[in-house]
Amino acid sequence: MAAWRAFLSTFHLLERRIEEQLKSAAGLTHPQYEILVRLSEAPGRRMRMTELARVVVASKSALTYQVTQLEKAGLVARETCPSDDRGVLAVLTDEGMRCLERVAPGHLEVVRAYLIDRLSREELQAMTDAMRKAEQALRSSA
Amino acid sequence: MAAWRAFLSTFHLLERRIEEQLKSAAGLTHPQYEILVRLSEAPGRRMRMTELARVVVASKSALTYQVTQLEKAGLVARETCPSDDRGVLAVLTDEGMRCLERVAPGHLEVVRAYLIDRLSREELQAMTDAMRKAEQALRSSA
DNA sequence: CAGTGATAGTTCAAATTCGAACGACAGTAC
DNA sequence: GTACTGTCGTTCGAATTTGAACTATCACTG
């Protein structure tokens, strides 16, 4: 259980650091940053709201809110889904892409400095595998 | 970086599970549960607010709020610190202790089922060490 | 095509979080 | 003692999250 304790504390501390870094670098929150990252990797830089909510692990209402914020900032735009009139596509704008490219290095730096670089290659691999298994279990038994 | 992705998703999913479990078992939130745990382990089952905020990694205002909630529920009480009139001691009540003893098993079960049991003994040890090192780095360079 | 049940996304009120500002007290220097 | 500086915990407003309604649309059945 001490392991879980350490895990929990470290994560919270790291989250705090990340928020701090992103806020000062681009006025972004961590959830907003994650949205930009996922959109940047999606085909056509666009993704359905529900799918986006699933991958970033946010509630539908939280995502609606954050996408609205990002829309106001001009980093994301909304499109109606051509194949489903109920659906909405969140699209990463060019400005959003530029913003992401500007901020990403500093973000990666923080994650690496405090977490990634503190594990050996084998530890990192083992940890990643375990996380993936846990993630799958958590998602499938939702 | 895929490793970090997996960490993040898994953590959020697990948090969600934990919240769900605690809420249905005792109407507690995860931050509240953490407060009870830390108090139960403290000498005299009491702790200074600032110290408590530090160990559970919460802001001072968030802690004030949560302790007030727990106080309303009768699980925690406030005492003025005898050695420092500015200070406040959060004290775990008997009812709080009983509540914790009732809820803890189910909580541990969730953490184990989805995370702990998915790592080998060596992996767990390696991860814990890494987390501790990261925690220390994060705390010292605050 | 009407009817039914599920799904997509939004909206709302309530709860929670954060950071800044605040008043009260401690510790030290003079 | 007085002044200065720092710490303690709380309070406030703004931002964010949650879950439960709600509207619109889809997919399927008859």
Q: What is the pLDDT along chain B (142 residues), one digit of tens a residue?
A: 888 999 999 999 999 999 999 999 999 999 999 999 999 999 999 999 999 999 999 999 999 999 999 999 999 999 999 999 999 999 999 999 999 999 999 999 999 998 888 888 888 888 888 888 889 889 887 6
Nearest chain B residue to A142, by CA: B17
pLDDT below 50 — which residues of chain A?
none
Measured distance CA(A31)–CA(A56) in Å, rounded: 8
Nearest chain B residue to A12, by CA: B57
Nucleotide nearest to A32 (CA to C1'): D16
| B contacts of A8 (beta carbons < 8 Å) | 34, 57
CA distance A108 to chain B (A): 8
Is residue B114 a contact partner of residue B17, using CB atoms and an 8 Å limit?
yes
Measured distance CA(B142)–CA(A16) in Å, rounded: 10
Nearest chain B residue to A20, by CA: B142
Nucleotide nearest to B81 (CA to C1'): D8
> Looking at the partner chain, which of B4, B17, B115 has a beta carbon nearest the beta carbon of A111?
B4
Name the residue among B77, B9, B28, B49 with its Cα closest to residue A128.
B9
CA distance A88 to chain B (A): 23
Q: How remote is the C-alpha of B5 from its chain's centroid?
A: 23
The pLDDT of residue B126 is 82
Does residue B20 lie within 7 Å of nucleic acid chain D, judged by its CB? yes
Does residue B71 lie within 7 Å of nucleic acid chain D, judged by its CB? no
| B contacts of A4 (beta carbons < 8 Å) | 111, 115-116
Q: Where are the alpha helices (DSSP H) in chain A?
A: 2-26, 30-41, 49-56, 60-72, 94-114, 121-140
What does chain A come to in residues? Answer: 142
The pLDDT of residue B142 is 63
> Looking at the partner chain, which of B11, B116, B120 has a beta carbon nearest the beta carbon of A11?
B11
Q: A–B: how many Cβ contacts below 8 A?
A: 123
> Looking at the partner chain, which of B10, B128, B135 has a beta carbon nearest the beta carbon of A135?
B10
The pLDDT of residue A58 is 96
Q: Where are the alpha helices (DSSP H) in A27-93?
A: 30-41, 49-56, 60-72
| B contacts of A139 (beta carbons < 8 Å) | 13
